[in-house]
Amino acid sequence: MSDNIKEPLFNLLHSVKRSLRQAIEVGDLGITPLHMRVLKIISLYNQKVTANDIVQKTLIDKAQLARLIKELIGLGYVSKLDNPHDKRSYYLGISGEGEQIVKQLRLAENRVNETMKMGLTDQEIADFVRLAKHMAQNLHDQD
């Protein structure tokens, strides 16, 4: 029954990515959308988040994430802090420069968000998010 959910989903994500790339002057900052995704999380949990925490949250491959963090550190947006409870890992902190970028990023994202939500009610948006999470959970449980 029910036609394919995948195709509209693919299309939507494709459009979101394109819009975000346009909305954000990423080139100037030397970082990619994926960097920003990580940077946002570090900003949110400043000095209280480890690389592994981010892997759990985002499902980004840990090797990939190690590279991203390394690059963010190289750019001076992020720093590592010793984790006294586990010497294998470290907490991630964000610099003032990093915060500036996150701020710009949020503005750009909000613009895209608003565009995307045009003509929809808050209830519909909330439902959409709820359903997306539900479906992701279904798939996740399957593993």
What is the token pair recorded at 118? 């045009």
16 binds its own copies (CB under 8 A): yes
> Which does residue 126 bind out of DNA, its own copies, none, counting CB within 5 to 8 angstroms by kind?
its own copies
- Distance CA(60)–CA(58), nearest Å, equals 5
| Distance of alpha carbon 46 from the chain centroid | 15
| Distance of alpha carbon 10 from the chain centroid | 18
What is the token pair recorded at 46? 């400043």
Site string for its own copies, 68-87 (x = CB under 8 A): --------------------
Handedness of CA 92, 55, 127, 18 (dihedral sign): positive
- Distance CA(117)–CA(56), nearest Å, equals 28
Site string for DNA, 43-82 (x = CB under 7 A): -------xxxx-x---xxxxxx-xx-xx------------
Binding site for DNA (CB under 7 A): 14, 17-18, 21, 32-35, 50-53, 55, 59-64, 66-67, 69-70, 86-90
Which spans of this chain sit near its own copies (rule: CB under 8 A)? Answer: 1-6, 8-16, 18-20, 37, 58-59, 109, 112-113, 115-120, 122, 124-129, 131-136, 138-140, 142
